Amino acid sequence: MRMTPECVPCLIGRVLFEAEEVDASKSVEAVRNASEMLGSLFGEDVCSADVATQVHRETYRILGTDDPYKALKRKSNEIALELYPAAERFVKASKDPLRAAFLCSIVGNILDFGIGTGYDDPAKLRRGFAKLLEEGLGHDDTPKVKRLLRKADRAVFLGDNCGEVVFDRLALREIKRFGVDLTFVVKERPILTDATMEDINGLGIEGIADRVVEAPGFAVGLDMDALEGRFGKMLRDSDLIVAKGMANFEALSETDIAPVAYLLRAKCSPVANAMGIRKDINAVKLFEGRRAG
């Protein structure tokens, strides 16, 4: 996805949030550095995910941490595990378990910190979970996804944030019912609240997916260089990619990789506009055989 002017204050807000989480005394330095970087990197012809990656890499260096969200990630998983039995009942009671599982997975995607567009406190998910499920899907390409799954041999599921990764288990289980070989992807290195191998330890995902692999590098969304190597070949060789969250859309929409079914909460106008959907909805959006952005 191409960067827009709205991406700039969003990134600055995220940097400030990270600094205040780790060491508030470094807030000025972190925000000043991010502002200077954005002054030179921002443009309509650059990928928003790539710019965000560069800004966060420098912010983490300034803050002297490799995981400023560590405590929030743990809390997100804890609360999601509390809610998981209700989500599981919701799926079991549904006439369309795949759609219901997708919705539960997407509702977890509402967790987002420091950008003012999602739930910035994991506890809010506990209070709002049922209401978010009641919203349903504002855009629903689940029937198209089913059509692809019926013909698929290999599928890849790109995970996103902690918390929502707990609910991803429901989606993984329903995808496996189609008889596909399923790979689940986590991040190799911590970035934002994205799940790593350490973060999914004990969640049982390894018992559902056929394998769990790491997306190489440090990147918001996906490392664009890695998409030219073995990891990118795995994606291109799959019959369907299910990608969670806005950052994965921001990165993958810059590539020729398809088909991709995005499961996300459209939390900002730039992403919603680029996807051709409304803002603030739960969406299953399939891009089939063409570039998304």
* pLDDT in single tens digits along all 293 residues of the chain: 999 999 999 999 999 999 999 999 999 999 999 999 999 999 888 999 999 999 999 999 999 999 999 998 998 899 889 899 999 999 999 999 999 999 999 988 776 655 555 556 667 777 778 888 999 999 999 999 999 999 999 999 999 999 889 999 999 999 999 999 999 999 999 999 999 999 999 999 999 999 999 999 999 999 988 888 999 999 999 999 999 999 999 999 999 999 999 999 998 999 999 999 999 999 999 999 754 44
Contacts of residue 99, defined as CB under 8 A and 6 or more positions apart, other chains included, come to 137, 140, 142, 284
This prediction has a pTM of 0.93
The token pair at 101 is 């599982």
Report the Cα 26 to chain-centroid distance in Å.
28
Residues 267 and 143: their CA atoms lie apart, in Å, by: 24
